[in-house]
Amino acid sequence: MPENIIAGIPVHFPFEPYDVQRAYMEKVIICLRDGTNGVLESPTGTGKTLSLLCSTLGWIRTRQSEVQLNMQKLQHDQQTQLTGAAGAGAAMGSEIAAVIGKSNNWGVPKVIYASRTHSQLTQAMRELKRTAYANMRAVVLGSRDQLCIHPDVMREQGNSNKVNMCKLKVHAKSCTFQLRVESKKDHPDFRGPSIMDIEDLVKVGQRLKMCPYFASKELVNSADITFMPYNYLLDPKARKANKIELSNAIVILDEGHNIEKICEESASVQIRSSDVAIAIEDVTHIMKIFTSSSDSQDTAGPDEPKDFTIDDLTLLKEMLLELEKAIDGVIVDNKADGATYPASYMYELLGKANFTHGNCATIVALLDKLVQYLMVASQHSMLRKGGSFMVLADLLNIVFANKGDIMSKVSCSFKVHAEIEESKQSQTNNKAQTGWLGKGNNNAASSASKTGRIINFWCFNPGFGMEQLLNTHVRSVILTSGTLAPLKPLIAELAIPVAQHLENPHIVNEAQVYVKIIGTGPDREQLISNYKNRDNPKYISSLGQTILNVSRIVPDGLLVFFPSYPMLNQCVDAWQASGLWADISSRKPIFLEPRGKDQFTSTMEEFYQAIRDSKGACFMAVCRGKVSEGLDFADRNGRAVIITGLPFPPLKDPKVILKRRYLETNRTRENQLLSGNEWYNLEATRAVNQAIGRVIRHRNDYGAILLCDARFQDASQVQQLSKWIRNHLGARPQSSPFGPIVRELRQFFKHAEQTIVQPVERAVEPVLHTICSKKEDQLTLAPITQIKREPGNTGTSKFQLASELAAKVEMANSIKTWTPADYANAAGRNAQSPKAPNPMDFMSRLNSNVTSIDFNADSGRDLVKIHKRERSSPTFHNESMGSKKRYRLINNIAQSELKEAPESRADFLREVRSVINSDQFRSFGKALLAYKTGGDDSFETLMLLLLDVMGAPKLRYLLHGMRRYLKNEHKSEFDVRLASLEAAQL
């Protein structure tokens, strides 16, 4: 890869970097060199992740080389100065120093790369594998939910239950996967690959029968760069558990546009009256088991770790009763708005139950033991799994993590908010809720008040969490994202010293982006999505007409973002009633953002498939939702984005009110904090910036951005948009009439399709066309890969056309199966010719690379198939030149047996969807999801569905392909069922 000298450091970049990439990498290197912090914004599509990785690792590699050279020079000087025995001793000392230095990475800083989600981390690691730094050591830290391969743990519902089941098995030394980590951690298959992402770790773990979760921690010390989610980095307990050392480390916070919220949420906690009531009930159950264990040893099973006493339980129950009494005694005068108290009130509340800094660690340790006890006991008795104990432990850990030296900051950064917890009367007569099905919503203890309380301990100062991070003596913190603007308020809130900051322009030119503010719809109704106008039927109708007209012009994918889910649902209901929904659907199939996690993946895949298969698709989603926060809608998947309004936070939400009040109280000239109103407006604009970034994803991409709200022309809103969007709107942006926008939009896409390089389609070309003077003469052969030409070569010479035609015909002859229906489409035959092929055509086709001929295609009956046997002898061609081919008639072999199911999961699901109907695929998806978290019953349900849907001979290859997605304990049963099916059809 080309080497570029940037800020004095050689950086290997896959291509000649653009100006924006060079400026970005220069800022990164300066931060690393000087040990300072940076806040860097570079729009999505400018190669931010690639620039960040290459510049950081280029600087790391340079430092490693410098330190190693100095070490080698030192060793050489010592060896030349000393000889004899003393020299041997000095040499040994040098070797020991070298080993110690290498194990400590030669004193070179480690890199911690943190992002919001694991999908973003996977994308970053994929970028790393394509660079010249792919040989540097990299590892990702994931959760048990992603990395655990123990079947018992994976059967547990919810991440917290999986965590506790894993802890229990490790404590009892009953997890064979974890026990093999020590013996297998130096295996070449594990230590060999330099970059290990989630998928790599799981594959190696399954092959070596070693726990990927615990094994990944063994790679942290030797890794040059460690990838992890934000919560692993910001939580001190998580850092300790994952062996993360931050001293002298380089911390990169990618996709950091939500870092303030993440810092605030990581320091906040909530507890309910019902949580305490259930904890009291769980302690009581355990105490009953203890008292009855002398009479019946098998009451709760013999395997529970009982490393606590009845006195511990008695003391804990007394404290919980006092805590319940204190919480239920909190005064809430206004039931609608709740009541707010200072941060010290939380310590007073816990103090009434004797929870203090001094005994916090002891109580948390006891709660962890109780959770492990209940994990075992719940397997053979009707007990909960200790969820209430985990809630209480989280409360104590977060509240008492703040020591006395920072209590003054706690008092101004935190607030306690109390609200009424509504009781669920439907649970009163539900006896099953006292068993393992109860998950924290029970009306349990009779001593509890009919109306409980919810106590929130909220942090409103993101700088509080960042200060804890800086106190670990990190070398540099680099905060980066595509949407950080405006930078000054962000830096002020985080309260970190920033030496380098950057607002990059976009990498695309003006001809690739069309940005307009649409203030009125086609009927001249004002488009403004404020609280007063949202229920206006005329506004909703005008917005629908606007989307309909735009969908007629925009090719391929159209994204529409709404301020909130209620607004989205309101518009959908109104448009379905008026017929607008059907009109839009006739132009583009409409997909709605699902709120459930299970449906999200399948919905996105259906949207992408609709783009490939039809005239386009429309995806309606919500700002701040999953679709707006990191998904890639490059090229055809997203040619335009419509923002229907400003997504302000709920005005009367208690947390929003207290945040605005906090800013107004603590704002000074020195700290440059925003006012409450400025923060409120900025929250909406940042969500808009994030949604807009879904469209333009790389240098050759193009698309339209339509802001359908008249408020976007206000100067206060425009100034908070990303810099590159402001440049397209101009100095004084104004909303335009709808008519001229339609005309300009049509011209924009027409010009873009003619002048901008179109993306290379990954899909196989659907039909092979003959290259001749008559365009109507076409070959209707099976799909064949298109011949690739050199860039810029139109391939107009007759010789070149003839050569490509010959190559295509040759590829057309290399097929696996052939039917009599292919007669009519034989290569070189005119489709209009009435003359049918003669038997010599049939025999000539056999001379090509055909393995079987199916005579059943036309008759529809199971008759016979000629199967061609291929010789494996190296002299096959010489022997067969003069010999006659032999053919034999055999029983019908299903064409599906000659096929193989796609390897990748996405391709496999796409193949299944293409051969079965929508109802069958929906049932298949539900059964697969139930099987993932279920047991033997779910396998039986899945197996019956598979045999029904894929049991036909032509789909048998898909049934074979399903085997790789089954759990190991079910594969043998699957093989038996499959063998029985095939035997029955012989």
Determine whether the annotation assigns residue 175 to a binding site.
yes
Determine whether the annotation assigns residue 360 to a binding site.
no
Q: Which of 303, 275, 246, 709 is nearest to 453 (CA)?
A: 275
Determine whether the annotation assigns residue 44 to a binding site.
yes
Q: How far apart are CA 679 and CA 649, in angstroms?
A: 10
CA 578-647-413 angle, 5° bins:
150
Q: How far apart are CA 601 and CA 607, in angstroms?
A: 10
Q: CB–CB of 372/171 below 8 Å? A: yes
Q: Phi/psi of residue 852, each to 5°?
A: -155, 155
Q: How far apart are CA 345 and CA 6, in angstroms?
A: 54
Q: Which of 587, 616, 590 is nearest to 603 (CA)?
A: 590
Q: Which helix (H) or strand (E) holds 66?
A: helix 48-81
Q: How far apart are CA 361 and CA 392, in angstroms?
A: 12
Determine whether the annotation assigns residue 329 to a binding site.
no
Q: Which residue has the tokens 């390089």?
A: 757
Q: Which residue has the tokens 């002298």?
A: 248
Decide: helix, strand or coil at residue 560.
strand
- For the record, the structure tokens of 361 come out as 């660690």
Q: CB–CB of 587/555 below 8 Å? A: no
Q: CB–CB of 405/344 below 8 Å? A: no
- E strand map for 563-615: 590-592
What is the full DSSP assignment across 626-661? TGGGT----GGG-SEEEE-S--PPPTT-HHHHHHHH
Q: How far apart are CA 466 and CA 487, in angstroms?
A: 16
Determine whether the annotation assigns residue 48 to a binding site.
yes
Determine whether the annotation assigns residue 166 to a binding site.
yes
Strand partners, 514: 704
Q: CB–CB of 859/819 below 8 Å? A: no
Q: Which of 434, 278, 297 is nearest to 371 (CA)?
A: 278
Distances 871 to 818, 847, 852 between C-alpha atoms, Å: 19, 14, 14
- What is the 3-state secondary structure of 120-134? HHHHHHHHHHCCCCC
398 CB contacts (<8 Å, ≥6 apart)? 267, 268, 269, 457
Decide: helix, strand or coil at residue 11.
strand
Decide: helix, strand or coil at residue 339.
strand
Q: Which residue has the tokens 């099916």?
A: 981
Determine whether the annotation assigns residue 623 to a binding site.
no
* CA-only gyration radius of the chain, Å: 33
Q: How far apart are CA 371 and CA 947, in angstroms?
A: 41
Q: CB–CB of 722/43 below 8 Å? A: yes
Q: Which of 691, 663, 692 is nearest to 677 (CA)?
A: 663
Decide: helix, strand or coil at residue 682.
helix
Q: How far apart are CA 958 and CA 946, in angstroms?
A: 9
Q: Which helix (H) or strand (E) holds 282?
A: helix 273-292
Q: How far apart are CA 519 and CA 709, in angstroms?
A: 6
Determine whether the annotation assigns residue 148 to a binding site.
yes
Determine whether the annotation assigns residue 601 to a binding site.
no
Q: CB–CB of 127/185 below 8 Å? A: no
Decide: helix, strand or coil at residue 115.
strand
Q: Phi/psi of residue 11, each to 5°?
A: -120, 125
Displacement of CA 207 from its chain's centroid (Å): 25
Strand partners, 621: 561
Q: CB–CB of 886/850 below 8 Å? A: no
Residue ranges of the binding site for ATP:
42-49
Residue ranges of the binding site:
42-49, 148, 166, 175, 211
Residue ranges of the binding site for [4Fe-4S] cluster:
148, 166, 175, 211
